[in-house]
Chain A
Amino acid sequence: MAAALTSQLHALVNNMFATGLLDDQFQQLQMLQDFSAPDFVSEVVTLFCDDGERIIGELARELDKPNVDFDRVDSFAHQLKGSSASVGAQKVKNTCIQFREFCQQRSRDGCLKTLDLVRTEFYDLRNKFQAMLQLEQQIQACYPKH
Chain B
Amino acid sequence: MRPDERKGVVATRRDQFPVGMRVLAVDDDPVCLKVLETLLLRCQYHVSTTNQAAIALKMLRENRDMFDLVISDVHMPDMDGFKLLELVGLEMDLPVIMLSVNGETKTVMKGITHGACDYLLKPVRIEELRNIWQHVVRRKFSTRDRASLDIYEECNKPSNADSDHAHGHVTCGSPDQSGRPSKKRKEYYSEEEDEGEEDNTQETDDPSAPKKPRVVWSVELHRKFVAAVNQLGIDKAVPKRILELMNVEKLTRENVASHLQKYRLYLKRLSAVASQQVSIVAALGGRDPFLHMGAFEGLQGYQAFTSSAALSSFTPHGLLNSPRNNPAVFGTQRVSASKSIQTVTGGHALNHSICDANKYHLSSPGNQQGNLGQGMATSLGQTQMQPKWIHEETDDLSTIFSGNGLANSGMSATLQGVTSSPLLPQELVECTQVKVGSQPSVLTPSVSSGRLEGTVGVSSSLLDSRVSQQTTIPLSGFSASGLPIHGLFNNSCATKLGATSSVSTPVHPSNDLLVARDTKAGASSFGSTMLLPPDTEQKYLNFGGGNSFKHKFDERTADSLFDLKFVWSSSLSSQLASNIGAHHSVSQRWNNSSSNNSNIGARMIGQPSSSASTVEPHAKSDFLISGDMLVPKNASDLSVPKPQSELSSSSCSFDGLLNSIIKVEKDDVSFSDDLGCSDFYSLGACI
- Residue numbers of A with Cβ under 8 A of B are 25, 28-29, 32, 36-37, 40, 43-44, 47-48, 51, 75, 78-79, 81-83, 85-88
Count residues on chain B whose CB falls below 8 Å from chain A CBs.
Answer: 22
Q: How far is the CA of A51 from the CA of B126 in the complex (A)?
A: 23
**Given A37-B38, A83-B29, are A75 and B77 also a contact pair (CB < 8 Å)?**
yes
Task: Tell yes or no: B41 within 8 A of A by CB.
Answer: yes
- Residue numbers of B with Cβ under 8 A of A are 28-32, 34-36, 38-39, 41-42, 73, 75, 77, 100-102, 122-123, 125-126
Whether the pair A25, B77 counts as a contact (CB closer than 8 A) is: no
Q: How far is the CA of A66 from the CA of B333 in the complex (A)?
A: 57
From A29, A37, A43, A79, contact of B75 by CB (8 A)? A79
Whether the pair B38, A83 counts as a contact (CB closer than 8 A) is: no
Whether the pair A86, B32 counts as a contact (CB closer than 8 A) is: yes
Q: How far is the CA of A124 from the CA of B32 in the complex (A)?
A: 21
From B38, B102, B125, contact of A40 by CB (8 A)? B38
Whether the pair A51, B41 counts as a contact (CB closer than 8 A) is: no
List the 3 shortest-distance A-B pairs measured between CB atoms, nearest first.
A83-B31, A82-B101, A86-B32
Q: How far is the CA of A75 from the CA of B75 in the complex (A)?
A: 8
CB distance from A21 to the nearest CB of B (A): 15
Contacts A44-B31, A44-B38, A82-B32 known; 9 new A-B pairs at CB < 8 A: A36-B41, A44-B34, A51-B29, A51-B31, A82-B29, A82-B73, A82-B122, A85-B123, A86-B32
Chain B residues in 8 Å Cβ range of A51: 29-31
Chain A residues in 8 Å Cβ range of B101: 78, 81-82, 85
Q: How far is the CA of A37 from the CA of B42 in the complex (A)?
A: 10
From A25, A47, A78, A85, contact of B34 by CB (8 A)? A47
From B32, B77, B123, B126, contact of A88 by CB (8 A)? B123
Whether the pair A32, B39 counts as a contact (CB closer than 8 A) is: yes
What secondary structure prevails in chain A residues at the interface with B?
helix
Q: How far is the CA of A20 from the CA of B223 in the complex (A)?
A: 52
Once A and B bind, how many residue pairs between them come within 8 Å at the CB atom? Answer: 60
Most buried by B among A40, A79, A82: A82
From A32, A40, A85, contact of B122 by CB (8 A)? A85
Q: How far is the CA of A83 from the CA of B29 in the complex (A)?
A: 7
Q: How far is the CA of A116 from the CA of B125 in the complex (A)?
A: 30
Q: Pull 10 A–B residue pairs with CB atoms less than 8 Å apart, ordered by A.
A: A32-B39, A36-B41, A44-B34, A44-B35, A78-B75, A79-B75, A82-B73, A82-B75, A86-B29, A86-B122
Chain A residues in 8 Å Cβ range of B41: 36-37
Q: How far is the CA of A51 from the CA of B33 in the complex (A)?
A: 12
CB distance from B597 to the nearest CB of A (A): 46
CB distance from A75 to the nearest CB of B (A): 6
Chain A residues in 8 Å Cβ range of B32: 82-83, 86
Closest to B30 in A: A47
CB distance from B101 to the nearest CB of A (A): 4
Whether the pair A47, B123 counts as a contact (CB closer than 8 A) is: no
Chain B residues in 8 Å Cβ range of A36: 41
CB distance from A8 to the nearest CB of B (A): 26
CB distance from A133 to the nearest CB of B (A): 15
Q: How far is the CA of A87 from the CA of B38 in the complex (A)?
A: 12
Chain B residues in 8 Å Cβ range of A48: 31
Chain A residues in 8 Å Cβ range of B31: 44, 47-48, 51, 82-83, 86-87
Most buried by B among A36, A40, A79: A79
Q: How far is the CA of A29 from the CA of B32 in the complex (A)?
A: 11
Q: How far is the CA of A100 from the CA of B101 in the complex (A)?
A: 12
CB distance from B33 to the nearest CB of A (A): 9
Chain B residues in 8 Å Cβ range of A32: 35, 38-39, 42, 126
Q: How far is the CA of A86 from the CA of B30 in the complex (A)?
A: 10
CB distance from B81 to the nearest CB of A (A): 12
